[in-house]
Structure 1
């Protein structure tokens, strides 16, 4: 058997028959085929994405629906949101309220003692001058005597009686205080209103009559003495001051002048205290009601 040799041309040798040669590839067809395949892959990719999106949406919808079915508190079954009734109120704390009605103003003492209609507390020499002494700064005067009368002119001398009567004086209260040989009598004339008291003060003419008793003899009856006149509310008050020895008071005399001022100031404070006490009582009654 002859051995086969492989030379140029392959196993068939130079004299043997040649096998059919392959034809060249159709590159244009291959390109079209590749393009068609790429488009199919792209469509498949896009379609797959849409399917994936739809699947996710379905899952979310299912979750939302499931959440709505599980809500037993009355919430929105479609969206799982609470209803307006389930929401908390804006403020748990109550808002402050304000009254349109202002509280009444407290009564004023001066208003009370300016009118007999409101000035109703018991009134006498004992209630107006209840203390045994009248004090001012470091000076103290002992109360010697006191008296009340509804005949106002009876407690005066000179022209003062007619002044009080003509202006409607209802009562005259007197008290005498003394210190170191000086005596002072104060007379408080009571009227129905402030206007009458002011008029009596402005028309003042001497004198209030001095009041004796309690160790104080008659004074300022036939000798010169110091006098004064003033008013507060429905009260006009007058003083006369001098020496228990009967010595005349001169223009330069300071002891009688100071005593008269001290007792007049004490009287002013006592009348105002009367108004303050009644104002306090009115305020307490208003609060209780």
Structure 2
């Protein structure tokens, strides 16, 4: 007779005497089952904890990927796509280069373009000329359409033969030295250049306005000849007391060089003004 699982077992003959061997076997079996249940419960608990930890690690990795085993950990996010079309028009550039600015020399090289008035004050303004620390006082001036009348020696014929239209002269003085500078006007640059190259004799000195007669009656003086554009310009300089000039008289050379330099600048400035006015004029 048996009482079922967990009940006592009785020995043979059913004398209500417990079968102690059977009871011992059942006790051992129950101990083994309990042990396996405890081991199984431990494994299950470990698995649950492991799953929780794994879930936490996965959640953390989704928010902040560590470098290392994850093959996508170091990949940067893809750049945002730019729109393929916009409402703003694309800039455009002209393929035609702007015209170059006018060349000032063009406006003083030919009478067809050199339209500014030609006057004494236009070339020799004011009452004195200052070059650095040197001050030259302006004396008499003269303007004539008879170019040969303002020359000495062969220069008159040279100017006339090359078509000189007018001659402007001005005299400057400084410390007993006087220099007359003359500007001869021609139709073209080629004629002015030829006249300066052929120069012989010289410009006639111009006295008055505090300057006595100088560089006349065979007195040795310094003479120069140059040209720029359609203008040829000449100087004659020496001592106001009639003393002859030698190469040792550096002061005479210095005053003459100042007048030559100044005249060149005035002619060039004439071209610059006309070129600037042409550039500023409206097209058409």
TM-score w.r.t. length of structure 1: 0.67
Q: Which one of the candidate residues 190, 197, 201 is aligned to 1:195?
A: 190
Distance 2:165 2:86 in 1: 66
CA drift at 1:220: 0.2
RMSD of aligned Cα (Å): 1.4
2:201 to 202, 206, 217: 206
Q: Per-residue deviation at 1:163?
A: 0.7
My pick for the range that moved more, 92-101 or 201-210, is 92-101
1:91 offset after TM fit, Å?
Answer: 2.4
| Residue 259 of structure 1, aligned match among 234, 237, 255 | 255
What is the CA-CA distance between 1:135 and the residue it aligns to? 2.2
**1:78-227 matched pairs, under 5 angstroms:** 90-222=85-217, 223-227=219-223
- Would you say the 8 A contact 1:107–1:279 is kept in 2? yes
Structure-1 separation of matches of 2:198 and 2:175: 32
Match of 1:241 in 2: 237
Structure 1: gaps (5+ residues): 1-87
After superposition, what is the alpha-carbon deviation per residue over 1:215-243, rounded to whole angstroms, capped at 9, x for unaligned? Answer: 11111002110010111100000000001
Q: Contact 1:135/1:266 (CA < 8 Å) preserved in 2?
A: no
The whole-number CA distance in structure 2 between the counterparts of 1:118 and 1:103 is: 22
1:188 match: secondary structure: strand
Assess if the C-alpha contact under 8 Å between 1:149 and 1:173 holds in 2: yes
- Between the aligned partners of 1:286 and 1:183, the Cα distance in structure 2 is 46
The structural deviation recorded for 1:148 is: 0.6
SS of match in other structure, 1:100: coil
State the match for 1:269 in structure 2: 265
Alpha-carbon distance, 1:200 to partner: 0.6
Q: Identify the residue that residue 231 of structure 1 maps to in structure 2.
A: 227
Deviation digits for residues 21-48 of structure 1 (CA, Å, limit 9, x no counterpart): xxxxxxxxxxxxxxxxxxxxxxxxxxxx
Deviations 1:71-101 (A, max 9, x none): xxxxxxxxxxxxxxxxx87122211222233
Count, aligned residues: 201
Alignment match, 1:54: none
Alpha-carbon separation, structure 2, partners of 1:151 and 1:192: 15
Instruction: Verify the 8 A CA contact 1:172 1:190 in the aligned structure 2.
Output: yes
Q: Is the 8 A contact 1:171 1:189 kept in 2?
A: yes
SS of residue matched to 1:164: helix
**2:180 aligned counterpart, secondary structure:** strand
CA distance in 1, matches of 2:125, 2:248: 33
